[in-house]
Amino acid sequence: MLATAGTDYSAIEGDVKLHNFMFNVIFQYPEGRIHPYFDAGLGASYFDFSLTSTSRIDDVIYSERGSSNDTVFAWQLLAGVNIDLTNNLSLDIGCRYFDTEYADYKYYDDDDDDYHYDGPFLDFRTFMVTLGLKFRF
């Protein structure tokens, strides 16, 4: 953010890293050259937050940093088709929907020896289209 002299502002920047651990069940039609499939998965998603807040009020700059982590329930659905190109090579076209519960941003306060839930709640959802080549040994 670019600010000119005498302008008050506030900015929040942050990073979130997700580590997903899923258990999936795949249903695939085995006959022929074309193999449609459907997949459903349940698991957990570990969020790692880091935030930096910067404000300028009356030409005084305030800055605060924080980090937090949370593990929440996650689920996904996949659907697609494998097309055999040769005996060992197939083309995979698919889509995936992935969703998590809300993850809380919490911090530990040494003064009262307790965790506080203050800040953003992250709800992560994504829809992906995939294209790949599979090689079978």
pLDDT tens for 64-96 read: 777 778 899 999 999 999 999 998 999 999 999
- CA pseudo-torsion sign 85, 86, 87, 91: negative
Mean pLDDT of the region 5-17: 75
Q: Is 14 exposed, middle or buried (0-12, 13-18, 19+ CB in 10 A)?
A: middle
Let me know: does 71 contact 44? Beta carbons within 8 Å. Answer: yes
Question: Which residue, 11, 119, 123, 2, is CA-closest to 67?
Answer: 119
Domain parsing of the chain, residue ranges: 9-135
Q: What is the pLDDT of residues 96-120, one digit of tens each?
A: 999 999 887 666 555 666 666 665 6
pLDDT of residue 5: 53
**DSSP-based helix, strand, coil % in the chain, nearest 5:** 0, 80, 20
In what helix (H) or strand (E) does residue 60 lie, and over which residues does it extend? strand 60-84
pLDDT digits (tens, 9 = 90+) for 24-64: 999 998 889 999 999 999 999 998 888 787 888 877 777 77
Q: Global pTM?
A: 0.71
Report the C-alpha gap between 71 and 48 in whole angstroms.
9
**Could you tell me the two tokens for 133?**
């080549």
